[in-house]
Amino acid sequence: MNVAFVYDRVNKWGGAERVLLALHDIWPDAPLFTAVYDPNRASWARVFRVQPSFLQYMPFAKRHHEWYPWLTPMAFESFSFDAFDLVISVTSAEAKNIITKPDTVHICYCLTPTRYLWNEHTLYAKHSRWLEYLAPTLRRWDRLASQRPDYYIAISDRVKERIETYYGREVETVIYPPVEISKGLALPKTRPQGEALRKQEYFLVVSRLVPYKRIDIIIEAFNSLGWQLVIIGDGTERKKLQHMAKTNITFITRHLTDKELVGYYQGCRACVFAADEDFGIAAVEALACGAPVVTYRGSGISEIITTGKTGMEFAGLSADALQKALVDFSRQSYDPQDCRARATRFDQLVFAKRMKQTVEKLYNTCNI
C-alpha cells in the first residue's frame, strides 16, 4: 500500500504526536500532511516528509491556527491524495475534511470529535466570543466532514460513544493509543507500600493547563484538604490556576526530562485527573511506574484503571466529590505490581500489532 498520514497541525508535542511516531514505525515511508508546520516547536516531526497547506503562509498561523477557523477545513480539502492507496487521518479537529477519490481508502483514527464544537463547547465558549457566532456553521462543516472517512477507529470506548452520538457513524474498532511502557517507565526499586505509602508527601497532576482539563477542581479539593500537590505542565490557564492555589500546591512549568518525570511518577501517592478525558496517556505512565490513579468516573481513564485495585473513581465533576474520593483513597493500599501489570496492555508493541492488523483488514475489505 502507498500510505499517507494526515494530522490537524504539527506545532506541538503530546499524545497525538506519539501516535504519529508509532504509525511512522509501521509505515516509515508515509508522508505527513497537515494544516500548519512549525519545525521549531515540533522537532519530533523531522522523521517525516511534512507537507503543510496554504494556511502555513497566513500571518501567525503556525502559532495561532484558531484565528482561521473558516480556512482550516478548506486547507485540508486543498490536498490531493490521488497517488495514495490509503490515507490515515489522526484527528481531533479538521483533518478528516480531506477529500479522497473512490479507490483511496480513508481511515480516521479519531482522538475525539471536535472538542470545542461538541462535548466541551460551553467551556470553550466562555473564553472565546467568536465561537458563539461561528459554532453553528462550524458544526455543520464538521458533521459534513465526519462523513468523509470510509472507516473510523476510536482511541477509547468513551470516544467511540461520542463519535456515534455527534457524527452518527459506526466505529469499526477501538485501539488504545501507544505508551512506551518498556522504555524508561519502571517501578522504583524502593517504592513505599502500605502505611509508608499513605504517608508519602504528594499527589501528582501531569497535564496541559487548559480549561477542559478541569485542574481548577483539583486545586479546590487540595486547597480544602491541605495535602501536598505537585502540578506538572503549562498552558493558557497557568496564571489563573496559580492565583487559585494555596501554598501546599507546587507548579512545575519547565520542560522536564523523561528521567525527571518518571521520578515524580515513582514518588507520588497517586496521579489525579478531573477531566472527561478521551484516553489518558499520563495515567498509563503513572500506572507503569507503580502509582495508582484517581479519576473522574465516565472519563476515558476509567477504562484504564480497575477501581479498588489500581485506582479510585469519583462521580460528579466537583471539588467535593473529588475530595471525598481522595479521603477514601487514602484509607486503602495499592500494590505497585498490580498497577504495572495493568499498564502493560497499553504498550506501544500492542498498539502496533493491532493497528497494522486492523488497517490491513479494513483496506482489504474495501478492495474486495
Identify whether residues 258 and 147 lie together within a single domain: no
Identify whether residues 335 and 353 lie together within a single domain: no
Domain membership of residue 228 as a residue range: 194-346
Identify whether residues 91 and 41 lie together within a single domain: yes
Q: Judge whether 232 and 205 are in contact, CB under 8 Å.
A: yes
Residue 301 in any domain: the answer is yes
Residue 274 in any domain: the answer is yes
Residue 189 in any domain: the answer is no
Identify whether residues 298 and 154 lie together within a single domain: no
Identify whether residues 216 and 319 lie together within a single domain: yes
Does residue 191 surpass a pLDDT of 80?
A: no
Identify whether residues 240 and 316 lie together within a single domain: yes
Identify the three-state secondary structure at position 311.
Answer: strand
Closest by CA to 344, choosing from 226, 183, 230, is: 183
pLDDT of residue 361: 94
pLDDT of residue 197: 44
pLDDT of residue 316: 87
Tell me what the pLDDT averaged over the chain comes to.
91
Residue 46 in any domain: the answer is yes
Identify whether residues 48 and 144 lie together within a single domain: yes
Contacts of residue 311, Cβ cutoff 8 Å, sequence gap at least 6: 270, 287, 292, 293, 294, 295, 305, 334
Identify whether residues 202 and 169 lie together within a single domain: no
Does residue 252 surpass a pLDDT of 50?
A: yes
Assign residue 232 the CATH number of its domain. Answer: 3.40.50.2000
Using 50, 70 and 90 to split pLDDT, how confident is the model at 196?
Answer: very low
Does residue 194 surpass a pLDDT of 50?
A: no
Using 50, 70 and 90 to split pLDDT, how confident is the model at 255?
Answer: confident
Identify whether residues 59 and 14 lie together within a single domain: yes
Residue 26 in any domain: the answer is yes
Using 50, 70 and 90 to split pLDDT, how confident is the model at 184?
Answer: low
Using 50, 70 and 90 to split pLDDT, how confident is the model at 183?
Answer: low
Identify whether residues 8 and 156 lie together within a single domain: yes
pLDDT mean over 68-74: 89
Identify whether residues 152 and 215 lie together within a single domain: no
Does residue 190 surpass a pLDDT of 70?
A: no
Count of structural domains within the chain: 2
Q: Which of 86-95, 188-197, 325-334 has the lowest mean pLDDT?
A: 188-197
Identify whether residues 28 and 172 lie together within a single domain: yes
Residue 188 in any domain: the answer is no
Contacts of residue 290, Cβ cutoff 8 Å, sequence gap at least 6: 187, 188, 191, 266, 336, 337, 339, 340
What confidence tens digit (pLDDT) does each residue in 301-338 have? 999 999 999 999 999 889 999 999 999 999 998 999 99
